[in-house]
Structure formats: C-alpha cells, structure tokens
Amino acid sequence: MSIIVTGHDFNLQTAHTSYLMGVLENGEMGQYYYGPRLGDKVNYADFRHREFRSVTPTLTEAQADVTMSMIKQEYPSYGHGDFRYPAYQVTYDNGARISEFEYQDYEIEDGKSKLGDLPSASAAADDQHVQTLHVHLLEKQSGLQLTLNYSVFEDEDMIVRSATFANTGTTDLKLNAALSASLDLSDDQYDMVQLSGAWARERHLYRRPLTRGVQAISSTRNASSAQQSPFLALARKQTTEQAGDVYGFNLEYSGNFLAQVEVDSYNVTRVTMGINPFEFGWQLKPRTRFQTPEVMMTFANNGFNGMSHNFHRFLTNHLISQRWVKKPRPVLINNWEATYFDFNEQKLLDIAKSAKSLGIELFVLDDGWFGKRNDDHTSLGDWQVNLAKLPNGLSGLANKVHDLGLQFGLWFEPEMISKESKLYIKHPEWTIHVPDRRMTPARNQFVLDFSRQEVVDYLFDQIAAAIRETHLDYIKWDMNRHITEMFSLALPAEQQEELPHRYILGVYQLYERLTSAFPNVLFESCSSGGGRFDAGMLYYAPQTWTSDDTDAIERLKIQWGTSMIYPLSTMGAHVSAVPNHQDRRVTSLATRADVAYFGVLGYELDISKMAPAEKATVVEQIKFYKQYRELFQQGTFIRLQSPYDGDGNVTSWMVVSGDQTTAIAGRYQVLAEPNPGYRRLKFAGLNPDLQYTIEGVDGQFSGQQLMSAGIFIPALFDERADNKMHTFDFDAKLYVIKAV
C-alpha cells in the first residue's frame, strides 16, 4: 500500500520517500512532511503543534494560536491571514475573492488514469506500484468543489499532483489563478537550481541560494520556452551530482508557467508551480470544471543524478508513449543545414543516396517544400507541395526515398501562418491579433488561433493528407515564434484571458488526433531548436530537437542541462558541418559524434559532398552507434564532471546498461592544457563486485576501483604523439567499459 490513511491524516509512500499531510482546523489541507521515507507508523500530532504569535491574524477569537501564516499548507488560499502567495484565487459573483474550502472525503484509485485533454502520466489499474489519492474539498457557500489529486509512483519515487475545480453551484465564477501544486518545506537552507537560456543555448544550469521573499522563473511567451524551463530543484548547499538531498519539480505543460519559491519570515519555503496566473483567467460556469496540468515531484538523497534518474525512469515508464519509448530510434539525415531553402528533387535524392550508403535509416525533408517557400517570408499555412522544387510531388520524392530503403520524414510548422499565403487571404480572422492594433511579426510570421476548432480541423486535414500521400514515417513539428497581441476573434471579451490555455489545448488536441490516427508516425517536437522541450510535448512526441546549436562544445552544456530532467531517448543530437553554422567553431568529426552519440543520433550536413575519408568515418560512427544504440537510448545516464564547474574545461558523463555489464563514458576537453595537472576519471553506476575491461586501457578493474579510484588520464600529447594532425582543443575520448 503506497497510501495509508489514518483518520484525517494521509501518508503517501514511495520506495524511498514519504509525503505526509492532514486536515487542518479550518478544514483546508495542511502539509506535514516530504522527504526520506518514514515508514507506516507516524506521529502526526507532532506536526500539529501550534504557537501563539502576536500581531498575526488568528483563525477565530478562541483559537489564538492558529494563525494561517504559521501553518504549512497543501493548496493555500489568500485572504484569511496567510499573506504568502496562494495556489489559487477565485472571484465569486459578488466580486469577493475569499474562499473557504473544507475537506469532505477522499477516494483511492488503483493505478493512475489519464487526464483527458491534457498530457498526463498513466498507470494501469493492476499496476501494484501506483495508487492515486483524490482529496475532495467543498466551498459550501458557492458550491465550488476542489479536488487535490496525488498519484504515488512507488518505484520511481515520484508524486504527481494536480487540482480540479468543479462548479456545482448556480452562480458564475472566475478562476484568477489555479496552480497545479504547492508545497511548504520546513526550512530554507536550499539552493534553487533552474535551467535557463535562449535560442542556441537552451537549458543552461543556474544555481543560487534561496533568500527571503519571492524568487521565481516563469514564461509569458505561451511556450515553455528556451528562456526558462518549467522545472526547478531545491538542493542542500552541499548537494553534488552524486550525493546529497534534492527536491525536483517539473510541470507537464507547454505554455505559460510559473515556478515560484517564497521564503517567509519563519524560514518556511513555499514552492508553487503551474500555469502562470499572469495572462490567465477562466470562466467557471455552473456545471463546468477546470483541470490543471500535472506537476511531477521527487525527492532524492543521492544527488542530482538521483533526482534525474527518478525523472528519467518516470518519464520512460509512465509519460512518454509506450509505443515509442523503448523502440530503437532511427539514425536520421536532415537536409536543413545542408540546403536550407535551396533544393530540388535531385539534390535531395543525392543526399538520400549518400545517406543510405553510410548506414542512415531516415531521410527528413525540412522547411521549404510547400507553397512558394523559398525563404521565411511566405507560405506557412499552405501545406501543399511546391511543384517548382519537387515536380513529381511529395509522393514522387517519398517513393524514391522509400525505394532506396530509407524511411521518409517531413517538417511542418502547423501553428503558424504567413501573411503571404493562400490561407491568410482566405482566413485572416484565424490569425491571433487585436483588430485595431499593430501586428508584431517574428521570423516574418504570425500565429494561428488554435483555440478555434476549425483551425485545428484544417491542420489535421492538411497534415493527414500529406501523411497518407507519402506513407510518412516521421514528422518534425516546429514552432518558431512566440505569441504577441494575444486575442481571439472567436472568443467573447470575458473569455479572452482563456486564450493562452485554450491555444495550448488546441495544440494538444491536434497532436492527440494525429498520433491516434497515425500511430506509426514518429513525431519529433521542435521550437527553433529546444524552445519547447517539456514533458507536455514528450507525451505526444517521444523526441525533441534539443537545440539548433549543433556545435559539440556548446552541446556539452545544453545536453548536460537537458539531462537533469529528460532521458537520452528524448534528445535529438546531430553531427553537423564545420565551421559550425551557429558559432563558426571547428571541431573534428570524431568530437562531434562523440557528443551526439549521447542522444538520438542524426546528421545534418551535405553528406553527398563529404570527402571519401570522412564518409568512411561516418560509416564507422553509425556502425558503432547502432551496436550500442540500446545503451545510448535506454541506458542509465550519469553526469560525472560538470561543464559548469570551475573553468568548465573538462566535461565527462557516461551511460550504463540496466544489468551494469556495459557502459560507455565520454570525456571532453575544451582547450588543450600544456603540462597539465595530475588527472583521473572516476566512473559511476557500475557493479562494484564485477571485473571490467576498458577498450584501449590495459588490464582489468573491479567496478569498485573504477568508481572509487577511477583511471589515470595521461597528458593528451603523450598519448597521441603519433597523431600529428590531431588538435587537442575540443578533444573527446570515449571509454567502452565491459564486464568480464
């Protein structure tokens, strides 16, 4: 039993954690404890000690020691004496914003059901290791019901939370804020860890000590965004990759979000996460309900790697489509950086033929195949082939690619519209804009109003036709701008604040319909690279284009940060041309592959023009990747030496098979060091009692020795003195480790 109920107290237990809460004096839910597992027998009374504080609002005249500002809560309200930021706010029909929810009862469900029109975790009812608790509260005055949902995933040490509001009364209500979860921790001695960035440098790691007051990250772009990830971790000061306590929170949502930490004057740390209340409002008419997205919460006492493994296992077992998550992902070639918009059928077929001869499995035709699209000013929305470029049509090209023995993939940007398009002439009203205000372009394009059912239907028909015509194997779904002038011509004034969330629901609906109608099509999500790398997208599209930045050195930081939450099977990683198109850096073909192996490998350069020696190298790379594909895509990924530590000159990481018999580590050096210090590389995740060999290293080692002492790393000049052509800037080395 992972959920133990004692009277009005609840004990949610995973393999290594406990989460305790109970009903408070005012009928709301109080938070007692979240951390290492306590077992079945708990002294709840100790969590209910109350103390008098002067000049503080009290619950009633008689209960002078019950002050809401001193009490840790589960889903806090504002207006009855707790002046911290709440988890929700409702406006009632008289304009008041004071709620008085009272606990009613609870239900326990075996397994975890899906949420319906939102991406969500799931587990079958006969899964012995997953249970869901629904705690029901009622606002008697208005008839508003609130259900707090907690799914307990024992094996992954994960608790998934969400809230459901249902108006069972007779008056119109409005939700001004409805976050997914709130948690009050009993002290503030944590660092806040976040993943922030920009285009081409997504998910860089930032760590800062908590301080009194509010610290938050958020998105107001209506995309989870490259700028901030819907994630945060709270770690003890001494927590490292391999050791120490850390809480991780991640939102399964792709739109505006808020991830906030508030430290109050009593050192209590309140974490709240969910849809950003800014640019949000929801009319809750009688007999309607509102469901928040889900938050994943985990606690680990074995460092950031421990937290990441919980996220990786959870996403793999319970969120990403089971149809795809463990399926070997094809090695792909993408024509974007090879041709940009300048291609014809012959050029593409030359690339495809070379791809086949190198061992590549999937050919992806990127932007520029439709309408009159020869640059980024035109044709978004017109998803019909450009016959000037592809005179034999899409099917002509697709058939030839299939005949070569390759899979065929296509790029779409479904959510966008160009002013220069047939669609815009026909349906200007489908564009998100305010009629009497300026329209702000970005990448010369505008955004379709995905809150309109007819827009979603139109895109479904367009994309479905292309899938049927080409027997398509793969879709890259791109999204290259954020939304400005947020307004829908189809919504009444009082519902305009619903547009950001309704837009995301429309995106999810299109994904749901396409993935259900065409279950054999593999989807990769993309947003100018990794601008929408989130669990909401991964629910539909099992892989995401991690970043437009394919420079191997920049990728160390990007892939390191991304791996904080997401497993390697989700990260598209390509070998591209040098000088690199984003930062002009020149790295060796070997280094580029040695970084890209740790993800879903692809190539994105004109391979038809490669020198024979380079082609031979690529053949070997793809052979190597396929030999260890399962390990690279499904193994346990462990971060060893951080590119964010010290001068960041050395990064290392590794991936270990489930049975700990095979592992591959990568060690990367940014700049060569003359006469360097003494160096060793310590591994992790191996079986201490097994003996291992390492290709290229003499002798055998116990797993214990490899993890505790590591191996000697010689100065690179000595080691490769024979290779006069080798540069030791941007150097990479792989270690293939096998149990004897």
Q: Which residues are catalytic?
A: 478, 548
Copy the structure tokens of residue 96. Answer: 């008041």
Instruction: Please identify, using beta-carbon distances, which residue of 336 and 625 lies nearer to ligand DGJ.
Output: 336
- Stretch 503-542: interaction string toward ligand DGJ, x if CB under 6 A: -----------------------x-xx-------------
For the stretch 713-731, what's the b/e string if a residue is b when 16 or more beta carbons lie within 10 angstroms of its beta carbon? Answer: bebbeeeeeeeeeeebebb
Residues 16-35 binding ligand DGJ (CB under 6 A) are: none
Q: Under the criterion CB under 6 A, does residue 294 sit at the interface with ligand DGJ? A: no
Task: For CA atoms 635, 640, 645, 650, give the dihedral sign.
Answer: negative
* For helices 393-403 and 345-358, angle between their N-to-C axes, nearest 10 degrees: 20
8 Å CB contact between 252 and 132: no
Q: Under the criterion CB under 6 A, does residue 225 sit at the interface with ligand DGJ? A: no
User: Exactly one of 202, 367, 420, 449 binds ligand DGJ (CB under 6 A); which one?
Assistant: 367
Name, in order, each residue with C-beta under 8 angstroms of 440's C-beta and a sequence gap of 6 or more: 484, 485
Neighbours of 388 (CB within 10 A): 9
What SS3 class is residue 464? Answer: helix
Q: What does the alpha-carbon distance between residue 23 and residue 29 come to, in Å, rounded to a whole number? A: 5
Residue 413 Cβ vs ligand DGJ, minimum distance, rounded to whole Å: 7
8 Å CB contact between 299 and 35: yes
Residue 555 Cβ vs ligand DGJ, minimum distance, rounded to whole Å: 14
User: Exactly one of 548, 551, 594, 731 binds ligand DGJ (CB under 6 A); which one?
Assistant: 548
Residue 604 Cβ vs ligand DGJ, minimum distance, rounded to whole Å: 8
DSSP collapsed to 3 states, 182-216: EEEECCCCCEEEEEECCCCCCCEEEEEECCCEEEE
Q: Under the criterion CB under 6 A, does residue 184 sit at the interface with ligand DGJ? A: no
Residue 199 Cβ vs ligand DGJ, minimum distance, rounded to whole Å: 9
Q: Under the criterion CB under 6 A, does residue 576 sit at the interface with ligand DGJ? A: no
Copy the structure tokens of residue 244. Answer: 């120490």
User: Exactly one of 241, 262, 478, 534 binds ligand DGJ (CB under 6 A); which one?
Assistant: 478
- For ligand DGJ (CB under 6 A), the number of binding residues is 11
User: Exactly one of 33, 103, 290, 336 binds ligand DGJ (CB under 6 A); which one?
Assistant: 336
Q: Under the criterion CB under 6 A, does residue 551 sit at the interface with ligand DGJ? A: no
Residue 355 Cβ vs ligand DGJ, minimum distance, rounded to whole Å: 17
Q: What does the alpha-carbon distance between residue 436 and residue 684 come to, in Å, rounded to a whole number? A: 60
Instruction: Please identify, using beta-carbon distances, which residue of 239 and 480 lies nearer to ligand DGJ.
Output: 480
User: Exactly one of 153, 411, 446, 668 binds ligand DGJ (CB under 6 A); which one?
Assistant: 411
Strand partners, 448: 431
Nearest residue (beta carbon) to ligand DGJ: 367
Instruction: Please identify, using beta-carbon distances, which residue of 132 and 528 lies nearer to ligand DGJ.
Output: 528
From the list 692, 677, 702, 704, the residue with the least C-alpha distance to 735 is 692
Instruction: Please identify, using beta-carbon distances, which residue of 526 and 553 lies nearer to ligand DGJ.
Output: 526
User: Exactly one of 75, 523, 545, 668 binds ligand DGJ (CB under 6 A); which one?
Assistant: 545
Q: Under the criterion CB under 6 A, does residue 498 sit at the interface with ligand DGJ? A: no
8 Å CB contact between 408 and 398: yes
Residue 464 to residues 268, 412, 423, 519, 579, Cα–Cα distance (Å)? 52, 12, 17, 12, 38
Copy the structure tokens of residue 259. Answer: 């991830």
Q: Under the criterion CB under 6 A, does residue 565 sit at the interface with ligand DGJ? A: no
Residue 308 Cβ vs ligand DGJ, minimum distance, rounded to whole Å: 25
Instruction: Please identify, using beta-carbon distances, which residue of 268 and 577 lies nearer to ligand DGJ.
Output: 577
Copy the structure tokens of residue 236. Answer: 């003890």
Q: Under the criterion CB under 6 A, does residue 480 sit at the interface with ligand DGJ? A: yes
Instruction: Please identify, using beta-carbon distances, which residue of 178 and 226 lies nearer to ligand DGJ.
Output: 226
Instruction: Please identify, using beta-carbon distances, which residue of 28 and 367 lies nearer to ligand DGJ.
Output: 367
Binding site for ligand DGJ (CB under 6 A): 336, 366-367, 411, 478, 480, 526, 528-529, 545, 548
